Amino acid sequence: MREVLYGGAYNPSGVHHHDVTRALRDEPFFDLVTVVVCGPRPDKPTTNDIDPVHRAVMADLTFGSLGDKVRVDLSDLELNTFTRTHELDTRHSRDGREVWHAVGTDIIEHGHEGASVIHRVWERGPELWNKLNFVVCVRKGIPFDVKDLPPKHMLLHVDNSGSSEMIRGLAANHQPLAGLVVPAVAEYIERNHLYRGNTGSRRSHLAISDPRLMLIVDERRPEAVALAKKLRPFCDEKNPNLIVTLGGDGTLLHAIREYWRHRLPYFPIHFGTYGYLLNDVKNEIDDTFFTREFTTLRSPLLHIEAVGRDGSVTEHLAFNDAWMQVEMGGTGWLKIQVNGVTRFPRLMADGALVATAAGSTAYARAMGAKPIPVGTDLFVLAGSNVFDPPHWRNGANIPTDSVIDFTNADESGYRKLYGFVDGHKLGEIVSMRIRKSRIASPEIAYLRYDEIAEKVIAAQFS
């Protein structure tokens, strides 16, 4: 298999990036195109100008429509790191793949003098110049010296050219971005006020003039099925701009887990029991309903690293919660740390849980924790059937930029603990590290958010 890596900051990803990726995709020589979105770079401080989740969203919006031959790698963003080119090459060639690296002619300029960006800036640059396979992207109207071409290369001619710096400048001055970014990215930048001296708000407004719905329906609820039939004329499963869920909180959870990489807002309609996260509007739907203005709130997913008894590490994302739990009939010992500070060297309980605001009305509430409204910059930390210390019954609220560590405090292995992510069992684990995801923060849209907030507030007194 031949794979080409196309790395960059993509801050934001523009039409020029899209066109290069499409040209790489259309080149029969390659079997796979991987767009690598870098984490913070010392040579590009602008990568930290906005929350990384926005770069992740814009990359998916830009490249997600290019088909199965193109994949977007967000691992550097999630891990807040910058993987050097030689490390990427080693990682992707481990299974015998022939790896190529897409670069622009500006990167190879002065190459024949040993003074290109690759030689001067890249780690182990001179070695990579002679060792790696390069796809040199030649943009229309931009000359280059053939003497600067690296030893192992192929040329790819691309008509379009552009600059993320120029796009950021135009966005900062409220100038139109048509033709410079794909329409979905232009709308996203405008709606979230990006590149205007802030990192982007957790709350924004959504107005769709031409609703194209994707429906996720709980088929067990006849009312939901009936409304779905009514909404079919407004559906466009191939090119939607809004995901509408018809069911309970679980239906929304399923939709987010399944479709978060679509980067579309969700509008959940209540057909369940409590509906803490849902719009109570099932009797208000008419032909113009989805052209109204909605309030959208971001609800960051949890990123979980779970370590098994054998030392294996698995990574997961959770919309609601993640927890460690003892086997039935026993009491677990858990060490709990927050930002490296040990809060409980040995919590004696059935288990412990971290929940997002969205998940605070679910299992966390059953543990005795107080629910908090979506959009609140807090996580809920709670214990299940806490025996010791006896005073810790209602849990704690933790800022969302925190890192929480759960560790099995019984090193003998007698008291086994099991991991769960949104209710899915991970098997026996010895530790779990939980933090806010840097790449996944779905938008949930509300017609009257104050009613949702009131429902959560009322739940704290019931």
For residue 148, report the phi and psi dihedrals to the nearest 5 degrees: -85, -5
Q: How many H helices and E strands in the chain?
A: 13, 23
Q: Sheet with 98-104: list strands edge to edge.
A: 70-73, 32-37, 2-8, 98-104, 133-139, 153-158
Shared-domain flag, residues 230 and 311: no
Shared-domain flag, residues 78 and 99: yes
Shared-domain flag, residues 291 and 367: no
Give the CATH number of the domain where residue 403 resides: 2.60.200.30
Say how far apart CA 445 and CA 243 lie, in whole Å: 10
How confident is the model at residue 462, as a pLDDT? Answer: 66
Structure tokens at 285: 């739907």
Shared-domain flag, residues 251 and 271: yes
Decide if 21 is inside a domain: yes
Structure tokens at 298: 């971001």
- Count up the domains in the chain and report the number: 3
Nearest Cα residue to 447 out of 292, 332, 317: 292
What's the chain's average pLDDT?
92
Q: What is the pLDDT of residues 87-102, one digit of tens each?
A: 999 999 988 899 999 9
Structure tokens at 89: 């090459």
Decide if 184 is inside a domain: no
Shared-domain flag, residues 217 and 357: no
Decide if 253 is inside a domain: yes
For residue 37, report the phi and psi dihedrals to the nearest 5 degrees: -90, 115
Say how far apart CA 431 and CA 398 lie, in whole Å: 19
Mean pLDDT by 10 residues, the chain (462 residues): 96 96 97 96 73 96 96 96 95 93 95 95 95 93 90 92 91 93 95 78 84 96 96 94 95 94 96 85 93 93 96 96 87 95 95 94 86 89 91 88 96 90 95 97 92 77 70
350 is annotated as an active-site residue: no
Say how far apart CA 15 and CA 159 lie, in whole Å: 11
Shared-domain flag, residues 129 and 24: yes
Decide if 143 is inside a domain: yes
Shared-domain flag, residues 166 and 222: no
User: With left for phi above 0 and alpha for psi between -120 and 50, is residue 352 left, alpha or beta?
Assistant: beta
Cβ atoms within 10 Å of 252's Cβ, excluding its own: 28
Nearest Cα residue to 331 out of 415, 409, 399, 255: 415
Decide if 188 is inside a domain: no
Give the CATH number of the domain where residue 80 resides: 3.40.50.620
HSE-CB at 343 with a 13 A cutoff on CA atoms is 18
Helices 52-63, 15-26: inter-axial angle, 10-degree rounding: 50
Decide if 406 is inside a domain: yes
Shared-domain flag, residues 6 and 79: yes
Q: What domain range includes position 246?
A: 213-299+443-459
Catalytic pick among 51, 73, 76, 249:
249
How confident is the model at residue 47, as a pLDDT? Answer: 65
Tell me the one-letter amino acid at 286.
D
Percent residues over pLDDT 90 in the chain: 77
Q: What is the pLDDT of residues 237-259, one digit of tens each?
A: 999 999 999 999 899 999 999 99
Radius of gyration of the chain (CA): 25
**CB of 227 within 8 A of CB of 268?**
no
Decide if 190 is inside a domain: no
**Looking at residue 361, what DSSP letter applies?**
G
Shared-domain flag, residues 156 and 25: yes
Nearest Cα residue to 243 out of 229, 233, 258: 258
Output the pTM of the full model: 0.89
Shared-domain flag, residues 40 and 140: yes
Say how far apart CA 22 and CA 85 lie, in whole Å: 22
Say how far apart CA 357 and CA 191 lie, in whole Å: 23
Shared-domain flag, residues 160 and 60: yes
Shared-domain flag, residues 385 and 314: yes
Decide if 105 is inside a domain: yes
Give the CATH number of the domain where residue 249 resides: 3.40.50.10330
**CB of 158 within 8 A of CB of 20?**
yes
Contacts of 461 (CB under 8 A, 6+ apart): none
